[in-house]
Structures are given as structure tokens and as C-alpha cells.
Chains A and B, each alone.
Chain A
Amino acid sequence: SYVLTQPPSVSVAPGKTAKITCGGSNIQIKSVHWYQQKPGQAPVLVIYNNGDRPSGISERFSGSNSGDTATLTISRVEAGDEADYYCQLWDVDSDRLFGPGTKVTVL
């Protein structure tokens, strides 16, 4: 089965850039999606198909996918970006699969 890895936590100062990685074997051939989940709330789609942004999502959120790593980048980080972030993809053996999640802390 396919395995996704994410760092458990990322810390970033306000106004700086946060990069959250999602690792997987040759992940570049897959479409990766990203969700933000704040405490006590449902997840929200922030990036789909590696780098597309749903309507209503800030331009500060961007995504890329190359080699064995997909990356969610949050520019000019704000206090309101503090949340758990999950990557997700579809795999023929693992079906719809989520990464373990990364907790982003704004210092």
C-alpha cells in the first residue's frame, strides 16, 4: 500500500513563509490535495490537483509537486493559519489516502 509522510509539526513566525511537505514514492505522478483543519472544525480544501486553489482561498496558499515530495506553501503567515494540514491523494491500492497531518504553529 502507498505511504504518505508529513512532519508532525512546523513552527513559523508571523509574516514568514511556512512549507509543509508530503512525501511519497514518486508522488509527482499523482494529484495531491491539501486540507486545513482548525480545532473543533471540519476540514477545508485549500489546494487541489497539486496547485489549484478553490474559490475563496487566499492567494497566500500555493502548492507544488515534484519527485517524491509535494509541498504546501503558506506565504505571509497569519495567526489565523494555525491549524492541522493534511495532504491527500488517490492510489490504486490504497484508494483515497490522507497523510498523517502537520500541526502548524504561529509563533
Chain B
Amino acid sequence: QVQLVESGGGVVQPGRSLRLSCAASGFIFSDYAMHWVRQAPGKGLEWVAVVSYDGSDEYYADSVKGRFSISRDNSQNTLYLQMNSLRVDDTAVYYCAKDGLLLVLGDYFDYWGQGTLVAVSS
């Protein structure tokens, strides 16, 4: 079965960096685009970024553009999110999510990890 396991969260000061990882299994990782979606404490869901199945295309929410970078290693079945210049309002649970469509950039998420908490605080 599909499994997505995030790691790398923690407490970080404003302006610092953090890298999240998501280990995938149970499906052909290199056939699907992958996303990061976040949820601030007590708030709703916010899409963050997507990377195409082969890593050639990336798209970002305006709120993180220029600060966050999404990437993937298909040889290791792992998705990454490099977060730089972190701000207090980046505090959230970060979920990795599998795209619902094969070999294209789709617009829905059919499997989600359990999330990793990033807390930005001085």
C-alpha cells in the first residue's frame, strides 16, 4: 500500500533554514508528481509546491515563492522541501501528498503522509 513518511520538522528561528524529506513506498514514485501541502495550527489547508514526476517542472504558492525549493530523488524514492528565510507564519504541519494522475501535473492529491510540524519561533 502507498506510504508517505515525512521527516525533518522541528523548531527553528525566524530567518533560518530547514529541509523536509518525504520517503515514499508502495507505488512507482518516478511516475507521479508530488506535492507539499501545509496546515497552520487550527487553520485550513494550503497548497505549497509541486514537482513533476521527473523533476523537470516546479510550481510554488506565491506565499513561498523565492524562499522554498521542492525537489526529488527518484533513485531514493524521496521528496524534499528546502525552506529558507523562514517566517513565523510558516509555522504549520507540512504534508507530502501524491498527485492523483499518472505522468502529468494533476490537480488533486490521492494519498497523504501524516505530516511533520515546523515551528518558527524566536
Residues of A within 8 A of B (CB): 31, 33, 35, 37, 41-45, 48-49, 54, 86, 88-90, 95-101
List, sorted by A's number, 25 A–B pairs whose CB atoms are closer than 8 Å: A31-B107, A31-B108, A33-B107, A35-B45, A42-B113, A42-B115, A43-B45, A43-B112, A44-B112, A45-B100, A45-B109, A48-B108, A48-B110, A49-B108, A86-B44, A86-B45, A88-B108, A89-B107, A95-B47, A96-B47, A97-B47, A98-B44, A99-B44, A100-B44, A101-B45
Q: Give the A-B contact count at a CB cut-off of 8 A.
A: 52
Decide yes or no whether B95 CB sits under 8 A from chain A. Answer: yes
Residue on B with the closest CB to A97? B47
Question: Which label, helix, strand, loop or mixed, suits the secondary structure of the B interface?
Answer: strand
Q: Which residues of B does A touch, CB under 8 Å?
A: 35, 37, 44-47, 50, 59, 61, 95, 100, 107-115
Query: B35, B44, B107, B110 — which one has the most chain A CB atoms within 10 A of its CB?
Result: B107
Q: Determine the main DSSP class of A at the interface with B.
A: strand
- A95→B46 CA distance, assembly (Å): 11
